[in-house]
A and B are shown apart, each in its own frame.
Chain A
Amino acid sequence: MDFRDTPDEADFRADLRRWLREALPTDWADRPPQVGHQDVALRREWTRRLFDAGYAGLTWLTEYGGGGKPYSYQAIYLEETGRVHAPEHIGVIGLGMAGPTIMVHGTDTQKKQHLASILSGETIFCQGFSEPGSGSDLASVATRAELDGDSYLVNGQKVWSSWAHIADYCILLTRTDPAAAGHRGLTYFILDMHAPGVEVRPLRQITGDPEFNEIFLSDVRIPVEDVVDAPGNGWAVAMTTLLHERGTLGFALTSSLEGNMARLLETVKAVGAAGDPVVRNRVAALYVELEGLRYTNFRSLTTLMKTGVPGPEGSVAKLCWSETNQRVTTLALELLGSDAQLDGDGGFWSGFWQYQKLRSRGNTIEAGTSEVLRNIIAERVVGLPRSR
């Protein structure tokens, strides 16, 4: 075990730092933190620059347009971009979920059609898994897909789809065999979001932002070529998607938590609480959690680099990150005193912490609720008997 960069990694890190310094606007570091989600146009443009500089899809094989590098390079990328609060690649779902799934289960045509354009940001993916009646119990999806000639006829409703309002494609989980119960009878598709019958409605959340969407599917036709893997094999494909969601997410989450931690320290100083022993103790406790997460990622990375597949231990990172991030935002708002209510231009950083506080409640629900993650740890990692 060695936590130092190899000489090649150190070069990569130095080049990336230099590139970020040149690519980001000169006043970037002085700008107040972004309240809510970054502007789509800005992210599209940034994505293009990342792609041109070779920083998109660092770990993807070169034949798919990626960098062909070990996962440690992706970790360095996330550390360095997080450190300077750089914008993220716009293809969050494509890079982290759709892409890796297509690589494992997709046909050559699907790989050719989608992988390179995910990297360049030319096409954007969204995810169609959750439904109003199917949240944690994903195997209960009810969106119907019926084979009709050389296409499937799809009807149903999906929810909690971030990016759906600008997405070109959706990784869609449907039920093709209503007679088969649970995990069986599911089929995984790549849905063209521009197809007739696809309607996207923004879903306003507790922050006031419409970050997520509902997708309504009415007699949508999906050609059989757009099935991923075999019909009826959707559950296995969906598990690949979720494994990658949690596996490579650890570093991204830690990097975002690190950003909030840095801002918390700034806030402590700005409100004159740096000498308060209670605040000092709470800040230090949060820092210990952040460090625990950071070095757990390094250990998971070692496993990932050996096996190529993230283990279920990745659930630990997501679980801890979400709960620590909630505690960070709670302390931050407490620091603001009665100004904690001011979330507009009159508020501290124009309401940055108010947004973060509300948004963080979603952290323990999205991408696996804390309850589901604890079940996964208890049953699949520790080996306790199944609860159901």
Chain B
Amino acid sequence: MLRAAARSWLSGRYPTEQVARLADSDTGWDPASWRQLGALGWLDPDLGMLEYAVLAEESGYALYPGPWWSSVALAAPVLGAVPERPTTLAWAERGTTDLRSAAVSAATTARQRSGVWRLTGSKQQVPDLAQSEAVLVVAAGPDGIGVWQVAVDAATVCPVSTMDTTRRFADLRLEDIEAELVLAPGAAEDALHAVRLRATALLACEAVGIAQHALDLSSAHARERTQFGRPIGTFQGVSHRIADIYTALQLGRSLAYRAAWSVAAAAADAEEAVTVAVLSAGEGAVLACENAIQAMGGIGFTWDHSLHRFYKRAQWITAFDGTGRSRREELATVLLGTG
């Protein structure tokens, strides 16, 4: 029901040509879509992880460009509620790029003068920053790490060039900028942990949508495209690559749903579930796109075809808050101890 409504809205409003247009535009998204998401219920306060999982998968399938994921996965766990306006989170700094280290140290400082908080410092690689109205900034206050909210247009936003232009980064410079305290020192660590679980689990779901799209594109092509007088899908060199997409998709889907469930149920192994899911679904989505590019021959290698945009998002996901290598090291610690 939720899935069908999401898919029908996304396929109507965001066909691949429209996504491509926005991806190549200056703004990167259609700000009017925020109100439409609200009308569709995507920002409702009563949605849980399982509903978010479905919406993340569908938004990955359509490659919806817009700050929905940042708002519900990066900002909402810090705010304790879904923000009314597009809102993102700035945690990374030079040398402190992952959420876990950001919870314990920051060079960006927050100081209170005459009852007003002011932030100074630089944050980097803030997702959807230029597409958001507010940004939550992790900074060091007098008593430790906390989170403050800043209006995006009050700060200096420096967009950086990214492979995936449907979810862009910008750097954030703050020079004595007025800010509102959101989480006092002490509460930030738990909130950032919640961000990490929710954001990563939903990216795993998004990766499932991407892999499904790569499967649909490549299998349709293999049915229709003929060479040597036969549809190329009859050649096992082609069809077996597509079967491998399906297989990777199934494993990733199982683990992504389980991760969403584990986070929703606050299961004891939620952290491991999320790590396993994003490894399987994220790397599965990369493989799905690579096999699809190969199966589609020259057409999948062109800028005009939408496939490269899915491929780039898949890689965005595998590089978020860690790498395959660092995530596998985390699992190895569970399995083998610290060595």
Measured CB to CB, the nearest residue on chain B to A280 is B332
A327 to B325, CA, bound (A): 18
B236:A280 contact, CB within 8 angstroms:
no
A385:B240 contact, CB within 8 angstroms:
no
B83 CB to nearest chain A CB (Å): 28
Decide yes or no: A283 and B336 within 8 Å by CB, A385-B234, A387-B236 being known contacts. yes
B238 CB to nearest chain A CB (Å): 8
A313:B335 contact, CB within 8 angstroms:
no
Q: Label chain A's interface by main secondary structure.
A: helix
A2 to B260, CA, bound (A): 11
A316 to B252, CA, bound (A): 12
A268 to B223, CA, bound (A): 46
> Which of the residues A2, A280, A293 comes within 8 Å of B329, measured between beta carbons?
A280
A285:B261 contact, CB within 8 angstroms:
no
A269-288 contacts to B, CB under 8 A, are 269, 274-277, 280-281, 283-285, 287-288
Residues in B with CB closer than 8 Å to A3 are 258, 261
Decide yes or no: A292 and B254 within 8 Å by CB, A316-B246, A381-B246 being known contacts. yes
A293 to B215, CA, bound (A): 20
Interface size class of B (residues with CB under 8 A): 35 or more
B180 on interface, CB distance cutoff 8 Å: no
B331:A384 contact, CB within 8 angstroms:
no
> Which of the residues B235, B240, B258, B339 comes within 8 Å of A374, measured between beta carbons?
B240
A239 CB to nearest chain B CB (Å): 20
A382 on interface, CB distance cutoff 8 Å: yes
> Which of the residues A1, A283, A373 comes within 8 Å of B332, measured between beta carbons?
A283
A281 to B250, CA, bound (A): 23
A313 to B108, CA, bound (A): 51
B279 on interface, CB distance cutoff 8 Å: yes
Scan B20-47; emit 1 where CB is below 8 A from any A CB, else 0: 0000000000000000000000000000
Decide yes or no: A296 and B335 within 8 Å by CB, A280-B328, A284-B328, A381-B246 being known contacts. no
A195 on interface, CB distance cutoff 8 Å: no
A292:B331 contact, CB within 8 angstroms:
no
Scan B297-339; emit 1 where CB is below 8 A from any A CB, else 0: 0000000000000000000000000000101111110011101
A75 to B286, CA, bound (A): 32
> Which of the residues B250, B276, B279 comes within 8 Å of A313, measured between beta carbons?
B250
B257 on interface, CB distance cutoff 8 Å: yes
> Which of the residues B243, B276, B328 comes within 8 Å of A291, measured between beta carbons?
B276
> Which of the residues A275, A284, A378 comes within 8 Å of B335, measured between beta carbons?
A284
A288:B279 contact, CB within 8 angstroms:
yes
B200 CB to nearest chain A CB (Å): 14
B207 on interface, CB distance cutoff 8 Å: no
The winner among B215, B244, B250, B252 for most chain A CB atoms within 10 A is: B250
Residues in A with CB closer than 8 Å to B294 are none
A383 on interface, CB distance cutoff 8 Å: yes
Scan B156-178; emit 1 where CB is below 8 A from any A CB, else 0: 00000000000000000000000
B132 on interface, CB distance cutoff 8 Å: no
A298 on interface, CB distance cutoff 8 Å: yes
Measured CB to CB, the nearest residue on chain B to A261 is B335
Measured CB to CB, the nearest residue on chain B to A373 is B243
Measured CB to CB, the nearest residue on chain B to A264 is B335
A292:B234 contact, CB within 8 angstroms:
no
A4 to B223, CA, bound (A): 41
B321 CB to nearest chain A CB (Å): 17
Q: Label chain B's interface by main secondary structure.
A: helix
The winner among B231, B234, B247, B328 for most chain A CB atoms within 10 A is: B247
Residues in B with CB closer than 8 Å to A381 are 246
Scan B228-248; emit 1 where CB is below 8 A from any A CB, else 0: 001101111001101110110
| Number of A positions contacting B (CB below 8 A) | 44
A289 on interface, CB distance cutoff 8 Å: yes
Residues in B with CB closer than 8 Å to A274 are 336-337, 339
B88 on interface, CB distance cutoff 8 Å: no
Scan B171-192; emit 1 where CB is below 8 A from any A CB, else 0: 0000000000000000000000
B2 on interface, CB distance cutoff 8 Å: no
> Which of the residues B276, B329, B339 comes within 8 Å of A288, measured between beta carbons?
B276
Residues in A with CB closer than 8 Å to B215 are 382
B35 CB to nearest chain A CB (Å): 32
B239:A375 contact, CB within 8 angstroms:
yes
Residues in A with CB closer than 8 Å to B276 are 287-288, 291-292
Residues in A with CB closer than 8 Å to B265 are 4
A77 to B80, CA, bound (A): 42
Residues in A with CB closer than 8 Å to B223 are 383-385
A292:B240 contact, CB within 8 angstroms:
no
A268:B246 contact, CB within 8 angstroms:
no
Decide yes or no: A374 and B251 within 8 Å by CB, A295-B258, A387-B236 being known contacts. no
B239:A387 contact, CB within 8 angstroms:
yes
> Which of the residues A269, A292, A387 comes within 8 Å of B255, measured between beta carbons?
A292
Measured CB to CB, the nearest residue on chain B to A378 is B239
A357-381 contacts to B, CB under 8 A, are 371, 373-375, 377-379, 381
A374:B239 contact, CB within 8 angstroms:
yes
A65 to B40, CA, bound (A): 53
B280 on interface, CB distance cutoff 8 Å: yes
B222 on interface, CB distance cutoff 8 Å: yes
Residues in A with CB closer than 8 Å to B337 are 274
Decide yes or no: A1 and B257 within 8 Å by CB, A377-B247, A383-B223, A384-B242 being known contacts. yes
Given contacts A288-B255, A288-B280, A292-B250, 19 further A-B contacts (CB under 8 A): A1-B257, A4-B265, A274-B337, A276-B339, A280-B339, A281-B328, A281-B332, A287-B276, A291-B280, A292-B280, A293-B251, A295-B257, A296-B250, A299-B253, A316-B247, A374-B243, A378-B233, A378-B243, A384-B219
- What are 6 A-B pairs at a CB distance below 8 A? A281-B329, A292-B252, A298-B254, A374-B243, A384-B222, A384-B223
Across the A-B interface, give the 7 residue pairs with the lowest CB-CB distance, nearest first: A292-B251, A275-B339, A284-B328, A280-B332, A295-B254, A384-B233, A378-B239
